[in-house]
């Protein structure tokens, strides 16, 4: 099975930390964030496809063509047109079912393993402030009804955590614009909900890394994810 890791952006909120390297290559306990993410992938994942852009040479130099017994493939996103646009760049090399994850968050290996049980799935975690995230509305059986982007008020608090199980049906749907020339993966996936059952898998742990404070916190709690 293939895993796509989105790692094309610079991470502007990291400030000077990403002047010399890209955010997914910032180190935690002496290893890049991406390396910790790869170590959390189930054994069923045999190939990793990196979507790279800003300072891509840093990622290529570190992981090369094989890493940890897995084949590594690179796809270059020169036009940073969002997470949906990134997946479309890899369309020709993706097989029917594949995993997608954001390149700068920490996830629990058991949560990812649970996702592999489904044909289509999204990882979600309950948050205190829904206005900062894409929020999932689900039916009684735990399938997506819709995703509302950064609602000002919401009784639903399950946020999209950035791990997805997709299949080639994803490419049958028109990419959804999220503004500024970008197209969103979660928003496009939500379009499939009327035709396909997309399971919402609740995460036991999730730590998004968006700014230097998040990185410092990740250093403290990394042992919980390993």
| pLDDT single digits (tens) 95-105 | 989 999 999 99
DSSP 174: P
Our CA dihedral for 148, 150, 154, 156, rounded to 10 degrees, sits at 60
Q: Compute φ and ψ for 63, nearest 5 degrees.
A: -100, -20
DSSP 8-class letter at 224: G
Split at pLDDT 50, 70, 90, the class of 12 is confident
Alpha-carbon span 189 to 92, nearest angstrom:
19
* 164-178 confidence digits (pLDDT tens): 999 999 999 999 998
Q: Is the pLDDT of residue 154 over 90?
A: no
pTM of the model: 0.94
Rg (CA), the chain: 16
The residue extents of the domains of the chain are 2-224
Q: What does pLDDT average to over the chain?
A: 94
Which CATH number fits the domain 2-224, given the four candidates 3.90.550.10, 1.10.3720.10, 3.40.50.880, 3.40.50.10860?
A: 3.90.550.10
Burial class (CB in 10 A: 0-12, 13-18, 19+), 165: buried
For 8-157, strand residue ranges (E) read 27-28, 31-32, 47-52, 66-67, 70-76, 97-102, 105-107, 121-126, 134-138, 144-149
DSSP at 143: B
């Amino acid at each position: 099975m293939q895993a796509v890791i989105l790692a094309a952006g610079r991470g502007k909120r990291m400030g000077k930390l990403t002047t010399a390297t890209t955010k997914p290559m910032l180190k935690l306990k002496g290893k890049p964030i991406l390396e910790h993410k790869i170590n959390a992938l189930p054994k069923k994942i045999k190939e990793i496809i990196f979507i790279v852009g800003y300072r891509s040479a840093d990622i290529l130099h570190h992981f090369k063509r094989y890493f940890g017994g897995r084949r590594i493939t690179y796809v270059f996103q020169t036009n940073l047109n969002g997470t949906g646009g990134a997946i479309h760049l890899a369309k020709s090399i993706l097989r029917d079912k594949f995993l997608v994850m954001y390149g700068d968050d920490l996830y629990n290996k058991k949560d990812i393993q649970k996702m592999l049980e489904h044909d289509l799935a999204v990882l979600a975690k309950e948050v205190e402030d829904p206005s900062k995230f894409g929020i999932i509305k689900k039916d009684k059986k735990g399938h997506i009804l819709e995703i509302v982007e950064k609602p000002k008020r919401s009784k639903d608090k399950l946020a999209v955590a950035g791990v997805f199980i997709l299949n080639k049906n994803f490419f049958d749907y028109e990419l959804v614009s999220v503004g500024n020339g970008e197209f969103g993966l979660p928003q496009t996936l939500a379009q499939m909900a009327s035709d396909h059952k997309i399971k919402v898998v609740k995460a036991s742990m999730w730590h998004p890394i968006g700014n230097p404070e998040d990185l410092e916190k990740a250093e403290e709690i990394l042992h919980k994810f390993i």
